[in-house]
Structure 1
Amino acid sequence: ENFEQTPLRRTFKSKVLARYPENVDWNPFDQDAVGMLCMPKGLAFKTQADPREPQFHAFIITREDGSRTFGFALTFYEEVTSKQICSAMQTLYHMHNAEYDVLHAPLADGRDLSGMEDGDGTPGTKLQRFNSYDISRDTLYVSKCICLITPMSFMKACRSVLEQLHQAVTSPQPPPLPLESYIYNVLYEVPLPPPGRSLKFSGVYGPVVCQRPSTSELPLFDFPVKEVFELLGVENVFQLFTCALLEFQILLYSQHYQRLMTVAETITALMFPFQWQHVYVPILPASLLHFLDAPVPYLMGLHSNGLDDRSKLELPQ
């Protein structure tokens, strides 16, 4: 991540803390892929002054044989209780502010170092100075994620399960049963609904419903098509659909991971009975931006933090 950012605006490397079950014979666990796609930009820190609402998004893991596994992630923020981590964040801010002061100190001839040009003729680095974290005053929060990996895209059901699990953890009142019993129920006791049938099972606080189309119906699709038309407009949807049929390189750009996934899945679903046969990465992790240099048709999604200037986005020619 760019070190010109203040420490709270940077992202850090994430890792999988736990998984259950440890492995499934027909669906080996890809720790690196799950880690990157649950938190595509890495671990993030915030304080009590920042918005910390839970965010849901779906993702796809494509294997070497072309098979796909669906993931559904709910990202939330949890208070950091480790004094060591809080102290490290404070130290990062001291280092950041010290570098800012050095870069903005006037030279002997009165010039500002931050305004000087680098060797390539570009303006020198300009850091922003923010004293936005004080260990004695602020509460530090770190992002965490709970995720379900499934062979089929039951997006609405998985979202409901994750949101109810998160509610059970954060609620002052404990759930009716131990949390592990609900997880065990979803993994081992809830069967896959047969084609053409619906299934209703109990979540932590309410029922969860999933429906599987029959073999004579359109394939399973659980994303809101209406939302795509509301976001892009009819004309842009048709233009995007045309680009997909002509096998262009398509790059989606949004501040919301779930919108990237919804648009990509909708466009490929509308191609039925045809299928998108090329590179398909609806959410491109920050560590894989070099994929954009691929000289083949692709459909990828790139996340924006809301501060980027889209006109300055560097894309391969």
Structure 2
Amino acid sequence: MLESAGNLRDSTDMTDPLTDTLALTEAHCHVSRGFVAIGEWALRYPASQRLKFTALVEGTCWIAFDDLDHRLELEAGDVVLFDGRHGFVKGNSDDVPIEDAVVAFGATDGPMARFGSGIDGGIGAKVVNIGGHIALNRTAEELLMRALPPVIHLRSTDEQAATFRWLLQRLVHEASTSQPGGSLAADDLSRLLFVEAMRACLTEADALPVGWLRAIADERIAPALRLMHDQPGRAWRLEELAQAAAMSRTTFAERFRSVAGVPPLTYLLNWRMRLAERALRDDDQPLSALAHSLGYTSDSAFSNAFKRVNGVAPRRFREAARATRTVPDAAAMA
């Protein structure tokens, strides 16, 4: 007889720390308007303070971020994921005035904006681009934004190129279609694009900042991470985790901290607190049950740990979260 989906998901073999963590961020991709540019063009985009992506479907162009000393040369199939903290210029020519992107997009209607020196006569190279942003809850600001470099350039020649190209083609179709459900399909496709981007990041672990994403990419400590994610309420000892990773206790502790930025048991504590935040926000279970599920023998032990990490007691956190239906700013309630 087949196992239930829940049993499969709870088994050690099926534990996936990346899926677990991205689920906590409640990341949702939203496709904004794409564009078709003919001829020469250059646009300045303001900083958005949101995690964003831009994907080149057809043609070539470049993108220059204010904080980088070089341009990224983009080809069809390339995807750029960036944190939105810096403005940038995107274009294909230095010989035309740089236009304001907000103004350029506002001057045309429809899901795909149209501009460029040759747009009226259809003369010049054609560029098709689509982009969007990734909406994150407050938990994700710590979990995801700090784990990624400011800019990630995923090239069409990378291993995931075929998947990226298919997703990009479907994104353009769904973003520009008048068929029912087009907007929802585009959002779902962009979310798949985001997952593929995260997978690509894991293949370039050395370029990632020290943190949980780099830890997930490290094959040597991966068995220990899977155990902690599979049974966060167990009272794991350092010796057990080191044994799972086939290392001595000292070697494991040093390796873990070098890639994750924190000791193994601190990682476990932080992961428990992220799970607690979600439960306090979304579930109605008593604090005693939540404390027990996360490995605490008493409400007070759990409350003390939660307040030490978040700066606010779990009961107050739950009240504030329910009042706003979002993850509250713990520091503001302290």
Using the size of structure 2 for normalisation, the TM-score is 0.21
User: With structure 1 as the length reference, what TM-score do the two structures score?
Assistant: 0.21
Higher helix fraction (1 or 2): 2
Structure with greater contact order relative to length (CA < 8 Å, sep ≥ 6) = 2
